[in-house]
Amino acid sequence: MPIPDFQTLMLPVLRLADAGEIKVADAVGRIADEFALTDQEREELLPSGRQAKIANRVHWSVTYLVKSGLVERPRRGYFAITPKGKSVLSSPPERIDIAFLSQFDGFDEFRTKANEDHPAEVEPTQDLAAGTPEERVEAAFEDLNAALREELLERILVMHPTAFEKLIVDLMLGMGYGANGSGERLGRTSDGGIDGVINEDVLGLDIIHLQAKRYATGNSIGVEKIREFAGALDERGATKGVFVTTSHFAPAAIQYAQRSPKRLILIDGEELTRLLVKYGVAVRGYRILELKKVDTDYFDEAEG
């Protein structure tokens, strides 16, 4: 089954607290057992890769229950039910969610303040609205990046061919290839289809050869183009090549590159835009949102 959203977990989390004070980390395991999550589901991470999704959702369920007054934090890392929480469980609803918690004093103020501090950048979908704050932020970030990559590809498709070849050289340099920034666009008819070279060492003893082809997204690069590229490498006595396209590669082309004794790397349009964004080539930052959390070490030292 899919991992339950954090609102679905609120009632089970409250029931756990009713049995006595419980450590949040233990609650994560108990909830995972209750919903019969697989090992893979228990280990599934948020897009940031910094926390397990189920742990994040349990933590936020606890936070929202605390803000509504149904549970409290008697000490760091633990939570326990309050008399108000026990009253709710004496006649339990079918589900506890944000709408249910809105009846309790202070909860709506908490939600309003949270929304003012972190305004939405995009219109949330129904699934996104059910996510934890981290999931909503990360999903919005992914949506913005997807739109950015789509715009990048549109602009690349109308670039002048020489500008596109230079873009690929700049990307390779931006990724850290090329000794002392040593790279050159070629792209002349006498260069046998090689559009650029990257020197991996200062003396140019190890060279990566580049070929860049702009195709509409619906057209694929067939195996014959990869064979031609491999032949151009042979003529230069080269063993390393990167073939970049704005479209995609046919399965036979991918198989040929994988079987080739040369080091042939194929980068399609989707991977190209991903790399441009990741390494900051042809894009620039325009806004930084810094998320902070409590420095528990500070308070531990203060208490000591």
Q: What is the pLDDT of residues 157-183, one digit of tens each?
A: 888 888 999 999 899 989 888 766 566
**Residue 200, Cβ density class (10 Å: 0-12 exposed, 13-18 middle, ≥19 buried):** middle
pTM over 0.75: no
Q: What is the pLDDT of residue 192?
A: 52
236 contacts: CB under 8 Å, gap ≥ 6 = 192, 194, 209
**How many percent of the chain have pLDDT more than 70?**
85
- Any idea which fold 1-112 has? Arc Repressor Mutant, subunit A (1.10.10)
Q: Which residues of the chain have pLDDT under 50?
A: 116-128, 189-191
For residue 44, the model assigns a pLDDT of: 92
Is the CATH number 3.40.50.2300 carried by domain 159-278?
A: no
**pLDDT value at residue 121:** 32
Where do the CATH 3.40.1350.10 domains begin and end in the chain?
159-278
Residues of the chain with CATH 1.10.10.10: 1-112
